[in-house]
Chains A and B, each alone.
With several copies, the nearest count.
Chain A
């Protein structure tokens, strides 16, 4: 089982239409500083490219997707298909600024879970703890604010 590997690997990237990388790069640095191996596929990464990266790194314990430009929902339209085809067989974590506009809807997270996202986060500091929890395969998908 990959959980017993000495080093833990994650795939990190930004959604397909989104070029915001500052948080992405800081998160990568920070996870590395905490001992993770980070495969950072960076900005403008489609679901297909995430699946690709996963095929090269099946040891990854999660795919972590950032989205800031408000287009997360459209950018993840292919996620259900990819997951159904088993192309992304690990937890998917999503974080950032997930919809357009300044007034966010609390039900937003639901939409993403319906697409096959396992956890919606806003604070990257919660990533390690979330990764730990997902490892224990809690039966309920986890939501943090």
Chain B
């Protein structure tokens, strides 16, 4: 088999009924089932990221990971051409040199190869990507028998593209969610993970969770039955634990019954330390956040994070992350008072952000309008369709706060609390100072480990 070449012709997708039957015959649990069991047994399910361009190498990678790291769920990370529907570029690079793709071009390889991957391993697969419009990718995934699909109309637009209007991405994701609803009706519950990680860097917990609440409400309305709310580790222990613990509470407040909601932690997604032992300290730290925050699933990182897509060895070497499930760590006590106060703070901020939006009648329209007006916002947006007037900073203890909440509809109390916690951080006395401070906050863990911020390579 010429592993790089895509199949000669694009072939018709099977019917939904056929795909549902295929999943049934596959003889492995769905992602939703794995998550359900993990939560019921008090385990944190583990999932590494992985995706390479070549089909043959993708098979090997999945098999190696399964054999050596025994993950609960496996990933197909999609390349960024496919994400942006640059299918021609994906095909061109695949034919030229598949090693230059930063993920697996599933649409180009086609659903039959997707099934081959699925059949190669016992763990269910999730497709992780970053596509504002993922309809074709989703259909290909379903045809491949893949039972978990990441993304959402906000979270896979604003961080991942520049010029796709929110109305378009929200509509595209409504189609995906509606298809999930239909599949659920046919007895196949697809896990839909919402990408609360957003731009990953200095994301205030309440922004991450607010966006996920809105996407979850939208998804549930289309009939989605299993929702994973992903939260990106920010770096402050009690704040992160509180954010994870907020997820079931938010689900209870804002989602209909009958939707299963899981808290998922994405291990730190910002600037990673370069030295292996430092990276590993951070990976273990993330595992402990997941454990103590009660996450159902942990998406792991590797010690090569600062360098680039990890090699197989590094990805197998999930030693540190798997400590999340050590039976020996029950002795760890927390500053529960601090966790409690962070939790109150988060719930309050999320309520102030989402409740005005949820109170309107046309959710999609309102989301678009709110982003246009800055009542919804995210920092470091890649897209023009969010204002990015929010400026996050770290408080002296490392917690992420709002230096400026931009136009978010925060109460005076919320504003004051944020201001107070940043009191000693100092209002920027000029753009240069502010950028310096922000850069230092972005490089938080380099500072912790005394690494210089010079780029890795």
Residues in chain A within 8 A of chain B (CB atoms): 14, 16-22, 25-26, 29-30, 32-34, 42-45, 69-71, 73-74, 96-97, 99-104, 122-123
- Give B311's nearest chain A residue, CB to CB: A102
Please tell me if the beta carbons of A26 and B442 are within 8 angstroms of each other in the complex: yes
Contacts of A104 in B (CB 8 A): 307-308, 457
CA A87 – CA B112 in complex, angstroms?
A: 43
**B411 touches A (CB below 8 Å):** no
Question: With A and B bound together, what is the CA distance between A18 and B435 in angstroms?
Answer: 23
Known: A19-B80, A25-B380, A71-B100. A33 touches B430 (CB 8 A): yes
Distance (whole angstroms) from the CB of A113 to the closest CB of chain B: 17
Q: Select A73's contact among B100, B161, B200, beta carbons within 8 Å.
A: B100
Instruction: Indicate which residue in B199, B304, B308 contacts A21 across the interface (CB closer than 8 Å).
Output: B199
* Assembly CA distance A25 to B159 (angstroms): 13
B101 near A100 with CB under 8 A, answer: yes
Determine if A44 and B435 form an interchain contact, defined as CB atoms under 8 angstroms apart.
no
Q: Which residues of B contact A25 (CB under 8 A)?
A: 380, 388
Q: Do the beta carbons of B307 and A71 come within 8 Å of each other?
A: no
Residues of chain A contacted by B456 (CB below 8 angstroms) = 97
Assess whether B394 is interfacial by the CB under 8 Å rule.
no
On chain A, the residues within 8 Å of B93 by CB distance are: 71, 74
Q: Are B100 and A74 in contact (CB under 8 A)?
A: yes
Complex CA gap A44/B385 in Å reads: 14
Please indicate the chain B residues that have their CB under 8 angstroms from the CB of A102 in the complex.
304, 307-311, 314
* Given known A-B contacts A17-B81, A73-B100, A33 and B457 have beta carbons under 8 A apart: no
B442 touches A19 (CB 8 A): no
Residues of B with C-beta under 8 A to A43:
161-162, 382-383
Per-residue contact bits, chain B 53-83, to A (CB 8 Å; 1 contact, 0 not): 0000000000000000000000000011101
B-chain residues with CB within 8 Å of residue A21 when the two chains form the complex: 199, 380-382
A85 → B minimal CB distance (Å)? 21
Nearest CB on A from B121, distance (A) = 23
The reply to whether B309 and A74 contact each other, CB–CB distance below 8 Å, is: no
By beta carbon, the residue of chain B nearest A70 is B102
A29 touches B435 (CB 8 A): yes
Give Cα A45 to B163, complex, Å. 10
B196 contacts the other chain (CB 8 A) = no
Q: Looking at the assembled complex, report how far the CB atom of A19 sits from the nearest CB atom of chain B, in whole angstroms.
A: 5
Question: A42: which B residues are within 8 A, CB to CB?
Answer: 162, 382, 384
* Shortest CB distance A27–B (Å): 9
Given the complex, which residues of A lie within 8 Å of B201, measured CB to CB?
22
A100 to chain B, nearest CB (A): 5
Q: Does B332 contact A (CB under 8 A)?
A: no
Can you list 23 A-B contacts with CB-CB less than 8 angstroms, sorted by A residue number? A14-B382, A17-B80, A19-B382, A20-B382, A21-B199, A21-B381, A29-B431, A29-B438, A33-B435, A43-B161, A43-B382, A69-B102, A70-B100, A70-B308, A74-B81, A74-B92, A97-B455, A100-B102, A100-B308, A100-B309, A102-B307, A102-B310, A102-B314
A61 to B284, CA, bound (A): 46
| Bound: A18/B380 CA distance, A | 14
For B186, the chain A residues whose CB sits under 8 A away are none
Give bound CA distance, A18 to B83, whole Å: 10
Q: How far is the CA of A18 from the CA of B309 in the complex (A)?
A: 15
Bound complex: CA A20 to CA B162 (Å)? 10
State A18–B439 Cα separation when bound (angstroms). Answer: 21
B420-441 Cβ-contact flags toward A at 8 Å (1 or 0):
0000000000111011001100
Contacts of B84 in A (CB 8 A): 17, 44
In the complex, are the beta carbons of A45 and B162 less than 8 A apart?
yes
Chain A positions within 8 Å of B365 at CB level:
none
Q: Does B319 contact A (CB under 8 A)?
A: no
The closest CB in chain A to the CB of B164 belongs to A44
Q: Please name all residues of chain A whose beta carbon is closer than 8 Å to the beta carbon of B102 when the two chains form the complex.
A: 69-71, 100
* Among B162, B381, B430, B456: residue with most chain A CB under 10 A: B162
Is B99 interfacial (CB-CB < 8 Å)? yes
Known: A70-B100, A100-B309, A103-B311. A17 touches B89 (CB 8 A): yes
Task: Pick from A33, A101, A103, A122: contact of B455, CB below 8 A.
Answer: A122
Question: How far is it, in angstroms, between the C-alpha of A100 and the C-alpha of B99 when the chains are bound?
Answer: 7
B454 sits at the interface (CB 8 A)? yes
Contacts of A101 in B (CB 8 A): 99, 308-309, 311
With a cutoff of 8 Å between Cβ atoms, the chain A residues found around residue B416 in the complex are none
Q: Which residue of A lies closest to B99 (CB)?
A: A100
B273 close to chain A: CB less than 8 A: no
Q: In whole angstroms, how far apart are the Cα atoms of A42 and B80 in the complex? A: 16
B181 within 8 A of A: no
Chain B residue with the shortest CB-CB distance to A25: B380
Are B308 and A18 in contact (CB-based, < 8 A)? no
Knowing A44-B163, A70-B102 are in contact, say whether A22-B380 is a contact too (CB < 8 A).
yes
CA distance A96 to B382 in the complex (A): 16
B153 within 8 A of A: no
CA distance A130 to B102 in the complex (A): 29
Q: How far is the CB of A23 from chain B (nearest CB, A)?
A: 9
